[in-house]
Structures are given as structure tokens and as C-alpha cells.
Amino acid sequence: MKISRSSLSKKKSIPSRKIKSRSKMDSFSQQFQNAKHKQDKEHLNKLFNKIKKKGKQVIDTQNIKAAYEYKKYIKEYLEYVLNCSYNVKKLSSMWGGEPLSIIDTINDELDSLVKLILKEEKETLKVVDKVSKIQGLLIDIHQ
């Protein structure tokens, strides 16, 4: 059986095509990941702006309805963060694998904020302090 050079060169060209298509797939995958990351970041920014706006309303009105809406926005924000794997990985690497401790702290602060408003303690500085502390914790997660 005779093997010609033309059949050998054809066999050599096939793997190079696979490599090219693999690099195209990697490039597409990277572009897709970048687009998803950008979309997630934009959504988180919108949610964070809603939280800041509602936090200001809580400070200004000290209304229980506003406080519950504020809590709802924060819950939505945290759920989104937990569903975005890159954020959870980022948090784990920054704080040694304990991202849930920040979320527990935020929940505790939200509960004490609602209790503060329910007790009708109209001490604005305490309410402002709670809202500021919660937003600071959210900034830690966001960045």
C-alpha cells in the first residue's frame, strides 16, 4: 500500500481547523461572559440606586411602609448577587469564603431599623445611621 504526500498533508490540515474553531468558540464564550457580566453589573447598579433612593425616603419620612419597601429592594438585590456566581466568588476570595456573614449582618440591621421605626423612636440620627450602615455593607458586596 502506497501513501502519497497529498494524503498526509490533508490529514495534517484537519487538526489545524479544529484548533481554529476551538479558538473561535473560546472567543465567543469569553465575549458572552463579558456581556453577561456587564449586564449583571448594570442591573445591580439599578437596584442599588433604587435602594439608595428608598433609603433616603426612609430617613425623610420614617414611615414603616417605606422601610418595608426598602427591605424588599435589599432582598431583591441580595438574591440577585447570590445568583451571580462571579459575585459570590469575588466575595469568597475577599473575605475568606464567608459571604453569607455580610448578608446576615444586613438582615440584622434591617430588622433593627424596622423595630426602631415601629417603636416610634423618631430619633433621626439613629435611622440615618442604620440606613448608612446598611448601604455601606451593600457597597462592600457591590464592589
Fold held by 38-142 = Four Helix Bundle (Hemerythrin (Met), subunit A) (1.20.120)
pLDDT interval class at 57 (50, 70, 90)? very high
The DSSP letter of residue 136 is H
List Cα–Cα distances, 87 to 18, 50, 111, in angstroms.
34, 19, 24
Identify the pLDDT of residue 121.
56
Identify the pLDDT of residue 53.
93
Q: What percent of the chain has pLDDT over 70?
A: 60
Average pLDDT value for the chain: 72
pLDDT interval class at 87 (50, 70, 90)? very low
Identify the pLDDT of residue 100.
59
What is the Cα–Cα distance from 119 to 126, expressed in whole angstroms? 12
Burial group, residue 96, by CB count within 10 angstroms (0-12, 13-18, 19+): exposed
Tens-place pLDDT, residues 19-44: 555 566 667 777 877 787 788 888 88
Provide Rg for the chain, Cα atoms: 26
How many other C-beta atoms lie within 10 A of the C-beta of residue 100?
12
List Cα–Cα distances, 86 to 33, 34, 37, 42, 117, in angstroms.
10, 11, 8, 14, 35
pTM value is: 0.56
